[in-house]
Amino acid sequence: MKVITANRLLNGDVVWLGENGNWVERVTLASTFEGKDQVAQGLAIGQGAEKAQKVVGVYEMDVTLEDGVIVPVRLRERIRAAGPTTHPQFGKQAQAVSA
């Protein structure tokens, strides 16, 4: 299972491709893609957004479901999803969103 991620060009925030081609700020709200064809479709949407200068650095990343919640597989992606490790009071981990 994969999701499509990038950085928002306007402010550099880590974002994930969500429903209807919208970029969301929580990995838990991302659309998931299974199989090469679906991933290719997701990447095409992301590359279209990159071409429109909405995001930069579009790529796919592996995720898994833990208790029904999307969780990145790799440590790097877990850190990108949570925010800075040196100042946990800032970033996405500091926001109280359970979605």
Q: Tell me, what's the pLDDT at 16? A: 98
pTM to 2 decimal places: 0.87
Condensed to tens digits (0 to 9), the pLDDT of residues 39-84 reads: 999 999 999 999 999 999 999 999 999 999 999 999 999 999 988 7
In this structure, the dihedral spanned by the alpha carbons of residues 35, 36, 37 and 43, taken in order and rounded to 10 degrees, is 110
Separation between Cα atoms, residue 65 and residue 73, nearest integer Å:
10
Which candidate, 37, 35, 36, 10, places its Cα nearest to that of 23?
10
| CA dist 55 → 5, 16, 36, 60, 78 (Å) | 9, 10, 22, 14, 20
pLDDT at 97 over 60: no
